[in-house]
Amino acid sequence: MSGTVQVDRSVLELEHLTVTRGSRAVVRDLSLAVPPGQVTALLGPNGAGKSSLVLAVGGVLRPSAGAIRLGGEELAGRRPEVIRKAGVAIVPEGRRLLGDLTVGDNLEVAMYALSKAEGRAGREHALELFPELVKRLDVTSRLLSGGEQQMLVLAQALVSKPRVVLIDELSLGLAPIVVQRLIPRIRAVAESGTGVLLIEQFAAVALELATTAHVFEGGVVRWSGPATTLKEDPELLRSAYLAGG
């Protein structure tokens, strides 16, 4: 029997990651893992460094220290297109779409690096998750509701069938009833085998979905453990936030 250690090719590992913007470390010595088939929550207030972390994983910012690995392959400092091709998709904060293009055209743009067969399969997969978009394919994306726009940016990320997807502030600017419609879709993404890192300032949304949670404040992870522990003990969450104060 071989003694070779088998590496799960779908686990995203962030190890002792530090990200500096200007002269300030906005992410400091962060370590966490995003396993396949699960939602992992990263909770933190505005200004905690969450979006800088997303930009570093996506290749927009270069980490000043640490590792970003997917299935053992080092991605830290690689170009965004290399990271996307490796299987990491990013859903940035703010629902960034090409507003003058239709829903269908926005999906086509997201498929540019895929073969025709991959693109067709990926588009079908995304529209199965967000069937509301099927009747809106010819609608200009700036005319969509906020919830529909969030569905579209999620669909764009998922057409490549990524191994891991990072979702930055899923619920920002959306009515609670719209967020509740999105929650089962994110659960379905994870159940399909994709690892999901859900980055949120609103804990209730993330803890409804997550298996594991990390509380991130002041650029540092203050607490890590089962999501159910935080859900059952809101005071623990509040204490973790205040730990950096």
Q: Tell me, what's the pLDDT at 5?
A: 39
Looking at the DSSP bridge assignments, the partners of residue 68 are 14
Q: Tell me, what's the pLDDT at 14?
A: 95
User: Quick check: pTM over 0.85?
Assistant: yes
Distance CA 173, CA 142 (A): 15
Q: Tell me, what's the pLDDT at 94?
A: 64
Q: Tell me, what's the pLDDT at 3?
A: 46
Q: Tell me, what's the pLDDT at 6?
A: 42
Q: Judging by beta carbons within 10 Å of its beta carbon (0-12, 13-18, 19+), is residue 201 exposed, middle or buried?
A: middle
H or E stretch covering 190: helix 176-191
Is 154:91 a contact under the CB 8 Å cutoff? yes
Q: Tell me, what's the pLDDT at 38?
A: 94
Compute the mean pLDDT over every residue in the chain, rounded to the nearest whole number.
85
pLDDT < 50 positions in the chain: 1-7, 244-245
